[in-house]
């Protein structure tokens, strides 16, 4: 299963074109711009669009993904923007991040396999200091209806990999939510996020 997952993303990121574009996610950008720059982690960061934006605005940026092809594209994007990011390839439990290391975590369409997504959120919580912020945007369980109507909007096609507000509250119990909402949005991100979709967005501050 792990190899199939890696192969899938390596294939997607192996094209010269950026799968989700070179610009940061709009919600991530809006919320990140409100914060004082510090140290930030981007899980499942793919080709680096959000990490590079954060680095350009003064953040000390760490990122990881399971795709080596994603890392290659991310470092290419970083170089073309004259910034540096610390990008590792591997599964989260094997990476050497530290307790309370980060001031912020950007979870942007970080759809980990259903069997591990809540476990990963628990690990990531340990790496965020008290008072640190999670910025999150990902497809909700309602999105299944959207992707069945229009495949080009992208996103998982199994409901277990999608999110509900109840899951978010359960996975992030010790957070004050500055925003937590499910909504329909219009996506225009590169080749694979185009059209109307249903997402959950939240900004949570660790108590």
pLDDT digits (tens, 9 = 90+) for 31-64: 999 999 999 999 999 999 999 999 999 999 999 9
Distance of CA 194 to the CA centre of its chain: 17
Distance CA 66, CA 86 (A): 14
Cα 62 to Cα 39, 50, 151: the distances in Å are 8, 11, 31
- For the chain, which domains are there? 2-139+157-183+201-206 (3.40.50.150)
153 neighbors 186 (Cβ within 8 angstroms): no
At 2, the pLDDT band (50, 70, 90 cuts) reads confident
Q: Would you say the pTM of this structure is higher than 0.85?
A: yes
CA nearest to 104, candidates 79, 125, 122, 89: 125
Which tens digits make up the pLDDT trace of 80-105? 999 999 999 999 999 999 999 999 99
Look up residue 110 and give its two tokens: 């970080």
Looking at the predicted structure, is the pLDDT value of residue 1 above 60? no
């Amino acid at each position: 299963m792990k190899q199939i997952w890696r192969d899938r993303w390596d294939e997607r990121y192996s094209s010269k074109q950026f799968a989700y574009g070179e610009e940061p996610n709009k919600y991530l950008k809006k919320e990140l711009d409100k914060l004082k720059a510090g140290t930030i982690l981007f899980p499942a960061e793919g080709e680096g669009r959000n990490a590079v934006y954060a680095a350009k605005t003064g953040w000390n940026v760490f990122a990881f993904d399971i795709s080596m092809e994603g890392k290659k594209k991310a470092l290419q994007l970083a170089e073309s923007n004259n910034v540096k990011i610390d990008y590792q390839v591997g599964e989260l439990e094997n990476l050497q991040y530290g307790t309370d290391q980060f001031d912020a975590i950007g979870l942007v369409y970080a759809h980990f396999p259903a069997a591990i997504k809540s476990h990963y959120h628990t690990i990531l919580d340990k790496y965020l200091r008290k008072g640190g912020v999670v910025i999150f945007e990902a497809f909700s369980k309602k999105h299944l209806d959207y992707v069945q109507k229009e495949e080009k909007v992208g996103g998982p096609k199994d409901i277990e990999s999608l999110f509900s507000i109840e899951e978010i509250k359960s996975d992030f119990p010790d957070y004050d939510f500055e925003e937590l909402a499910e909504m329909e949005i219009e996506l225009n991100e590169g080749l694979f996020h185009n059209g109307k979709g249903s997402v959950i967005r939240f900004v949570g501050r660790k108590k």
